[in-house]
Amino acid sequence: MKLDWRTGDRVLVGKFLYDFPILRDHPPHRGDVAVFKYPKQPQINFSPMNYIKRLVGLPGETIIIHYGKLYSLTGLSYDESQIPVVERWEPPYMHSDDDRALELFRQGKADIVRKPPREMLAVHRLVYDNDFQAKDLAGKVQPRWAAAGGANDWIPDNAEQPRVFKLQTASDKNTSWLRYRNLIPDAYRQKVHKELISDFMGYNTAETPEDLHQRKMREEDKQPVESPRNWVGDLMLECDVTVQSADGELTLELSKGVDRFQARWNLATGQCTLYRINRNGTQQLDSRETSLKKPGTYRVRFADFDERLTVWVDHSLPFGDGVVYEPPLERGPTPENDLEPASIGMKGGSATVSHLKLWRDTYYTVNLNPSLPDAGVSVDFSDPSAWELLRDLKPRSFYVQPGHYLCFGDNSPESSDSRTWGMVPQRLLLGRALMIYYPFNRTGRIE
């Protein structure tokens, strides 16, 4: 049989992981990429269709989606004794948006579902890769990465599209900042503007003839076309840092809402300290020794995912899975933080940074209609006066019946998954997806 790459990926499935008697006491884990038979009627030539989704909800839990993140609540139950087991996977028995579940969530009784670092690297989405800038915009728009306040301390390798920044000698008193601005070209306003980072994915931009007609009409009226997007504040900053001398202080900073989070390295000792900065002052969260303490080049990452700060230095995790912090009392973005949400700073010493990448976390949407954002209407992400709608998003809850699992797609805005058609009975789980084996240019392990 000739394999055609256009028909999709070929996936190796470990059926033994869910079927072997010796493993039956070890049920599927949260975060597994599971393959299962579709619970509804046959789909193709009267053969059940296989689905592949990420397993996010376990039997007996209530899963809540809020601001793109998942929360787990236990202890709720419902009397389904009159309902045949073979029907309990259907949407009515998920008890969506149950008043008891939502009230317990408002009381803070639900636990946030935090991804381990390996899964964070599997589900993160690229916001901007500074090594691959749009060539047709060279000299026409400002670079997204630039020294703060127009300073000339961070020297770029190229004025129009810099990829490498070098700080020869930083001040011993003040931090020299290199900041990311989420600059977006706007053909309708004839300018480039800063806006919030969203869950936009180019993969989802296919348009129907009706969409194209509406877009054409708005273009003729010189009106901006606001796509249905959601604000994403959970970010990961990655770069290569070349340290010229083992002195000074290196800082990676991520901002979200009212908070700024920093990972500061003392380059003389390698000690990394995590801070949270907001209107109440500066709070030290934790401090650990790292290998970043002598001249050389290091790959560093700093992530703020699921209300937890995680640090990588090359392949090590000095803080383990990360350091948890208390959720903010105020939700939603702020213009002083979220329009420039990632920064790199140096105080004293000298360093070069390159291969700058900014990632975001996967955002799970509460609305089943991909054309409708969680705020209910499209929001202008470049206008802070319109962000009030992002201050208090409504949560959504789903109960998972015993013997069933909740499975979501990683491409949440366009995914057909448990949010729309129901739960996955354990009897229909085929196994865990292990790797893509074809096409050969995509071969690799599935996390």
Sequential pLDDT tens for the chain (447 residues): 454 555 567 788 887 777 765 545 567 899 999 999 888 766 666 666 788 999 999 999 999 999 999 999 999 999 999 999 889 999 999 999 999 999 999 999 999 999 999 999 999 999 999 999 988 888 888 999 999 987 788 999 998 999 999 998 777 788 999 999 999 887 655 678 899 999 988 777 765 555 554 555 555 555 555 567 899 999 999 999 999 888 899 999 999 999 999 999 999 999 999 999 999 999 999 999 999 998 999 999 999 999 999 999 999 999 999 999 999 989 999 999 999 999 999 998 889 999 999 999 999 999 877 668 999 888 999 999 999 999 999 999 999 999 999 999 999 988 889 999 999 999 999 888 888 777 777 777 877
Is the residue at 170 inside a domain? yes
First to last CA, the chain: 28
Structure confidence at residue 17 (pLDDT): 76
User: Is 258 found in the same domain as 175?
Assistant: yes
Number of helices (H), then strands (E), belonging to the chain: the values are 6, 28
**Paired tokens of 218:** 């708005």
- Return the bridge partners of 288, or none: 272
Question: Residue 268 burial by CB count (10 A; 0-12/13-18/19+): exposed, middle or buried?
Answer: middle
Is the residue at 320 inside a domain? yes
Structure confidence at residue 216 (pLDDT): 56
Q: Which of 325, 360, 395 is the last residue of a domain?
A: 360
Structure confidence at residue 150 (pLDDT): 76
Is the residue at 382 inside a domain? yes
Integer Cα distance of 321 and 305 in angstroms: 11
User: Is 381 found in the same domain as 289?
Assistant: no
User: Is 179 found in the same domain as 254?
Assistant: yes
Integer Cα distance of 13 and 18 in angstroms: 11
Q: Residue 93's CB: how many other CB atoms inside 10 A?
A: 18
Is the residue at 225 inside a domain? no
Integer Cα distance of 194 and 214 in angstroms: 25
Among 431, 318, 313, CA closest to 28 = 431
Structure confidence at residue 115 (pLDDT): 96
User: Is 144 found in the same domain as 283?
Assistant: yes
User: Is 392 found in the same domain as 251?
Assistant: no
Structure confidence at residue 44 (pLDDT): 61
Range of the domain at 32: 5-121+366-445
Structure confidence at residue 445 (pLDDT): 80
Integer Cα distance of 403 and 27 in angstroms: 10
Integer Cα distance of 143 and 192 in angstroms: 11
Whether 341 and 182 have beta carbons less than 8 Å apart is answered as yes
User: Is 132 found in the same domain as 36?
Assistant: no
Q: Which of 296, 331, 360 is the last residue of a domain?
A: 360
User: Is 325 found in the same domain as 254?
Assistant: yes
Element (H, E) at 344: strand 342-347
Is the residue at 310 inside a domain? yes
Give the chain's radius of gyration (CA, Å): 24
CATH number (domain holding residue 257): 2.60.120.560
Is the residue at 198 inside a domain? no
Whether 13 and 429 have beta carbons less than 8 Å apart is answered as no
Q: Which of 317, 340, 360 is the last residue of a domain?
A: 360
Is the residue at 215 inside a domain? no
Structure confidence at residue 225 (pLDDT): 53
Among 346, 355, 356, CA closest to 167 = 346
| Three-state secondary structure call for residue 166 | strand
| Three-state secondary structure call for residue 65 | strand
- Return the bridge partners of 289, or none: 271
Structure confidence at residue 1 (pLDDT): 43
Count: domains in the chain:
2
Structure confidence at residue 222 (pLDDT): 52
Q: Residue 193's CB: how many other CB atoms inside 10 A?
A: 16
User: Is 166 found in the same domain as 43?
Assistant: no
User: Is 352 found in the same domain as 285?
Assistant: yes
Is the residue at 207 inside a domain? no
CATH number (domain holding residue 386): 2.10.109.10
Among 271, 266, 261, 265, CA closest to 310 = 261
Integer Cα distance of 22 and 20 in angstroms: 5
Structure confidence at residue 14 (pLDDT): 81
User: Is 133 found in the same domain as 103?
Assistant: no
User: Is 106 found in the same domain as 11?
Assistant: yes
**Paired tokens of 34:** 């599971």
- Return the bridge partners of 204, or none: none
**Paired tokens of 213:** 């007609």
Among 440, 420, 441, CA closest to 53 = 420
Element (H, E) at 120: helix 117-123
User: Is 291 found in the same domain as 320?
Assistant: yes
Enter the DSSP assignment of 84. -
